[in-house]
Amino acid sequence: MRQVNVGLVGYGFMGKTHSNAYRQMPRFFPDVGAAPVMKVICGIPAAGVKAAAPLLGWESYESNWHKLVARKDIDLIDICAPGNLHAPIAIAAAKAGKTIFCEKPLANTLKEAEAMLRAAKQAGVKHMIGFNYRRVPAVALAADLVRKGVIGEVYHWRGTYRQDWIVDPNFPLVWRLQKPLAGSGALGDIAAHNIDLAHFVVGPITHVAGHLTTFVKKRPRLTAVATGLTAKSTSQQMGTVTVDDAAIMLLRFASGAIGTIEATRFAPGRKNYNAFEINGSKGSMMWDLERLNELQLFLRDDPDYAQGFRTIMVTEGVHPYISAWWPAGHIIGYEHTFTHEVRDLMECIAKNKMPSPSFQEGVACQKVLEAVEQSHKSKGWIKV
Ligand code: SOE
């Protein structure tokens, strides 16, 4: 069994999900040939990461990522820091010969994303991007059914990702609302996930026409560091929101399919509604994250008396990843998607294979994000 020494940057929301995955993965997937060792967690402020390290299960902590990357005993650098730090950390990690696992979107700009891919290729290291929703068993099943032709030729992708955590205009100006830190808003944070799912299930997007909107342009500044999606500590001083609150786009795929994606943080009642409907010549499929164990399937060939969507409970041992978990019907959740990512990453390390999705898929998504921004400015279709 290969031991992979991990150094994780970031102890906020994503840092916690990844820590949980490293803790769980070897217990549920002991047979993939490699297992993570939770060596170091890194972040600022030092007092925060010091407290987080034992809580999240790390052997030690560090508050300077340069020192972390320079450590000879670390094999894998995992990047859960804000977007502006992805490129510098990943490029340094590649030069130091580390395997890199980076949260999405790959970077704040296409230029940075391409530089990350180049650096990783030049160094010959393995790289993976955290598009965790590919690892929902129902999504993996949907992709597999499309590949097997079960719904025939795909005509439509109808994607949406809706949240409501900033609909209150008094919600403060957290890092996710600042372009220099986050790169973009709903576009890179959540549309990116749906774009990646469209790439995964339908194939490459070739053309986009998009529009971006910021509904609340000024918000109270933060008075203290806040992580996650809940922040309360605010001042009377207002700051400018420099990212989009919502993004909409029309898509054309290389296969001839067409599609739409809508992403917003202004849909009251929609907490984390990442969803899609796919229509093909033989049938359709629907999935949404808030009911992540279920896949809706409609087949035109069903007898007349049974025409209608059926709900597949994707919890059978034959379904992707499920045999490692509980008996059929004993549902799994959001955190399992990260455990599955770590499982696949460890398997690739053990078998000396490039993980998927890699930075290559990260760049493919980033090209679409950039095309949407260009289209928003030029008000026309953009070739990706
Ligand atoms: C916040 O919008 C967020 O945590 C995203 O950053 C994640 O990528 C998404 O999975 C859930 O929402």
pLDDT in tens, 98-136: 999 999 999 999 999 999 999 999 999 999 999 999 999
| Per-residue model confidence (pLDDT) at position 229 | 72
Q: Can the peptide bond before residue 45 be classed as cis, meaning omega within 30 degrees of 0?
A: yes
Mean pLDDT rounded to a whole number for the chain:
97
Q: Which atom of ligand 1 is nearest to the CA of 132?
A: 10
pLDDT value for 233: 65
* Ligand 1 site, residue 229, Cβ cutoff 6 A: yes
Q: What integer pLDDT is reported at residue 236 of this predicted model?
A: 83
Separation of 308 CA from ligand 1 center, angstroms?
A: 32
| Residues 288-312: tens digit of each pLDDT | 999 999 999 999 999 999 999 999 9
Ligand 1 center from residue 191 Cα (angstroms): 10
Q: Is 279 helix (H, G, I), strand (E, B) or coil?
A: strand
Q: What is the pLDDT of residue 2?
A: 97
The 3-state DSSP class for residue 373 equals: helix
Residue 315: its pLDDT value, please?
A: 98
In short, whether 164's Cβ falls inside 6 Å of ligand 1 is no
Q: Is the CB of 245 under 6 A from ligand 1?
A: no
Q: What is the pLDDT of residues 5-35, one digit of tens each?
A: 999 999 999 999 999 999 999 999 999 999 9
Interval 24-66: pLDDT, tens: 999 999 999 999 999 999 999 999 999 999 999 999 999 999 9
pLDDT at 231: 72
| Exposure on the CB side of residue 361, measured as CA atoms within 13 A | 27
| Helix (H/G/I), strand (E/B), else coil: 332 | coil
Q: Does the pLDDT of residue 258 top 70, yes or no?
A: yes
What is the reported pLDDT for 228? 63
Tokens of 220: 């109270």
Give the separation between CA 24 and CA 11, rounded to whole angstroms.
Answer: 17
Rounded to the nearest whole angstrom, what is the distance from the C-alpha of residue 189 to the centroid of ligand 1?
Answer: 6
Q: Which of 13, 104, 187, 189 to mutate to test the pocket of ligand 1 (most atoms within 8 A of CB)?
A: 189
Burial string for 306-327 (b: 16+ CB within 10 Å, else e) reads eeeeeebebbeeebbbbebbee
Alpha-carbon span 57 to 15, nearest angstrom? 12
- Give the per-residue pLDDT at 174: 95
Return the closest-CA partner of residue 358 out of 202, 201, 208, 196: 196
DSSP 210-242: EEEE-S--EEEEESS---TT----EEEEEEE--
CB distance 341 to ligand 1 below 6 Å: no
Vertex 171, ends 168 and 172: CA angle to 5°?
A: 160
Ligand 1 neighbour 13 (Cβ under 6 A): yes
Alpha helices in the chain (DSSP H): 13-28, 46-56, 65-70, 86-95, 110-123, 137-147, 179-182, 186, 192-201, 334-351, 359-378
pLDDT band at residue 74, thresholds of 50, 70 and 90? very high
Q: What distance in angstroms lies between residue 289's CA and the mean position of ligand 1's atoms?
A: 12
CA 295 – ligand 1 centroid, Å: 21
Measured in Å, residue 100 CA sits from the centre of ligand 1 at 20
Tell me, what's the pLDDT at 191? 98
Q: How far is the CA of 283 from the centre of ligand 1 (A)?
A: 30
Take residue 173 and report the two structure tokens written for it. 């100006």
* 334 Cβ inside 6 Å of ligand 1: no
pLDDT given at position 83 = 96
Residue 189, ligand 1, Cβ within 6 A: yes
Q: Supply the pLDDT for residue 234.
A: 73
* pLDDT, tens only, 207-246: 999 999 999 999 999 987 665 677 766 778 999 999 999 9
- In ligand 1, the atom with minimum distance to the C-alpha of 165 is 2
What is d(CA 237, CA 21) in angstroms, rounded to the nearest whole number? 39
Hey, whose CA ends up nearest to atom 5 of ligand 1? 189
